[in-house]
Amino acid sequence: MVGIQVLADKLVQIQAASIARNLPVIEKKINDKLNSYFSELNKLPKTLSTVTEAMTAFMQIIGASKESLKKILLMGEFNEFPHDQQMHCTARLVEMLDQCSYQLHGCNASDSKSNFLMEEIAILEEAKGINLPNFVQRNAFLIILQGKVKGISGIPLEFVEHVWNYIENVVLFVLMRNTEKYYQLQPSVRRACQNFIQRMKERSIHWMTEILEMEKLTDYTCNPEYVSEWHRLMTEQETFITKVFRNTNDLGLGPHIKVNEEGIGMVEVGDLMKYPHVLLSQAFDLKMRMTAYWNVVLKRLIDSMALHLQLSVSNLVNKDMETEIVSELMGPNHGVGIERMMEEPPSIAVKREKLIKSIKKLKESKEVVCKIMDGIVTFAN
């Protein structure tokens, strides 16, 4: 009715109003995407251009790793890995010590009931010709002690192996997590970790072997519980021997006659009646001394292992780990390991380039949208 020009102007106004409604939404989406890409770009490892920057980044990795390992291996803090029980290291190490203690107390060498007094009698009978009672008793004691220590020696050595394998897995996990942005470092760091853990394992095995050898060679203890326990057990000596002769007289000789011995439990005594009272008394004394002393030996082993483990782990976290890794990176290759940190991994380089291109495109798009919005405002006015 009023002409083509009025219609065209009206349609342009409608189109401008529609664009004006949608452009802010488009601009917001562009801004959100830009922020997301900037965030991803900032999370990528910083490009290192000098050896100083590389060394600084490396020392930050070592510092972060030491801090994590102090928390999980020494201080018992679980906040970094609240749901991963394998990383609750102090609790796991205590469990391993408890399991080792259980195995030591439950193995055949620690069983006081098996072949009760028979080993003691056999050793004392071999020494019949020696007219030195104290010498015979101590010699017999050491022979029995050496056999018992030999019988348990595999358990603490297996414990040492098991503990250091576990610690190696934990340390490697932390180091690999903290070097994941610098893949060039990971082979050297892994190698360094395996080397110093292996040395510490060998040191612990050597230490444990020496402890076991020392336990074989002497019967020393200053623990007052030893004497008191020995005396307590000896109060049953005459009662036990009386039971042996009375039961075997009443029931006849046989290997399956049992009596309940205080502090030991039910023991077979059917074969004991054929030995004289004096020999039984000496064997009983030897058995009770060994029973009391063996408890001291087992406690001493567990306590020693716990203290050694605590000191070794502390040295690992505070000294050995850093020294070994630095030596691996800076030693024979004269720092080439640090210089390699300046080489960006191909996957990171591709991702960085894609993000930079995407950010550039979005910025250009944002400029176009802003120009259109400015044009609409000018047209409306």
Whether 282 and 137 have beta carbons less than 8 Å apart is answered as: yes
pLDDT of residue 159: 96
Which tens digit of pLDDT belongs to each residue from 185-200? 888 889 889 999 999 9
Same domain? For 291 and 171 the reply is yes
CA dihedral 134, 300, 318, 87 (to 10 degrees): 150
Distance from CA of residue 110 to its chain's centroid? 28
What's the number of CA atoms in the CB half-sphere (13 Å) around residue 328?
Answer: 19
Token reading at 14: 């409608």
Residue 116 is predicted with a pLDDT of 87
69 and 214 fall within a common domain: yes
Domain around 255: 51-340
Asked if 183 and 152 sit in the same domain, the reply is: yes
Separation CA 291–CA 269 (nearest Å): 18
- pLDDT bucket at 9, cuts 50 / 70 / 90: confident
Distance from C-alpha of 41 to C-alpha of 57, rounded to nearest angstrom? 18
- The 10s digit of each residue's pLDDT in 139-180 is 889 999 999 999 999 999 999 999 999 999 999 999 999 988
Are 335 and 348 within one domain? no
Q: How many domains does the chain have?
A: 2
pLDDT of 334 strictly over 70: no
Q: What are the angstrom distances between the C-alpha of 213 and each of 111, 219, 298, 304, 347?
A: 21, 12, 14, 14, 55
Whether the predicted pLDDT of 322 surpasses 80:
yes
Q: Are residues 312 and 360 in the same domain?
A: no
pTM: 0.76
CATH number, domain of 86, equals 1.20.120.1240
State the average pLDDT over residues 72-81. 89
